[in-house]
């Protein structure tokens, strides 16, 4: 997700970007990638604690954009060569009675699935907290991919494995 802002003093145009690490890291500049090791390590620690993580970046755009032509900027220009600004790790508390609700569904014979774009560590911790994941009785299947084709191939591989 992006927000484009123009600084009034000098007319500089900025694209502020937020997203998951899988979306941001491949789009970062080489210098940001080289300097981001400690930040990414910290983000993975946040995810292991069950926190929802996001990365934030910035890209300076050409100053000749205005309200009339800003819509013409192509996505690959907006979301490439990003400089990393930082990360967040937020606690996303479950609503009351989520675990008992999931158990009621299961007791009724309803299959319950968890679909998320969270990091694997975050998803696992949330799944355990709400009683969705029980390592003794339920299999965790991970589907990954950035493009539609990668996700499609991952789903096909899982379908093949599960029969």
Q: Give yes or no for residue 139 having a pLDDT over 70.
A: no
CATH, range 2-90: 3.40.1110.10
Each residue of 24-73: pLDDT tens digit?
999 999 999 888 889 999 998 998 887 889 999 999 887 766 666 666 77
- pLDDT at position 163, please? 58
- Strand 83-90's sheet: what is its strand order? 2-6, 13-19, 52-61, 83-90
pLDDT band per the 50, 70, 90 thresholds, residue 18: very high
pTM exceeding 0.85: no
Which two three-digit tokens encode residue 137?
Answer: 């009785």
Q: Give yes or no for residue 150 having a pLDDT over 70.
A: yes
- pLDDT at position 6, please? 83
Q: Give yes or no for residue 162 having a pLDDT over 70.
A: no
Each residue of 67-111: pLDDT tens digit?
666 667 777 777 889 999 999 998 877 888 988 998 899 899 998
Strand partners, 140: none
Domain ranges of the chain: 2-90, 98-162
> Which residues neighbour 55 within 8 Å (Cβ) at sequence distance 6 or greater?
18, 19, 20, 21, 24, 25, 43, 84, 86, 87
């Amino acid at each position: 997700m992006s927000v484009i802002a123009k600084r009034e003093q000098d007319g500089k145009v900025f694209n502020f970007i937020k997203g998951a690490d899988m979306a941001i890291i491949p789009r970062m500049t080489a210098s940001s990638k080289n300097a981001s090791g400690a930040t990414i390590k910290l983000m993975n620690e946040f995810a292991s604690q069950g926190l929802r993580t996001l990365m934030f970046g910035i890209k300076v755009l050409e100053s000749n954009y205005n309200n009339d032509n800003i819509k013409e900027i192509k996505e690959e220009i907006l979301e490439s060569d990003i400089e990393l600004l930082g990360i967040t790790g937020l606690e996303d508390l479950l609503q009351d009675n989520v675990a008992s609700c999931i158990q009621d569904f299961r007791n009724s014979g309803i299959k319950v699935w968890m679909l998320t774009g969270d990091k694997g560590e975050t998803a696992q911790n949330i799944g355990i907290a709400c009683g969705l994941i029980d390592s003794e009785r339920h299999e965790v299947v991970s589907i990954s991919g950035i493009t539609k084709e990668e996700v499609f191939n991952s789903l096909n591989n899982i379908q093949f494995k599960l029969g």
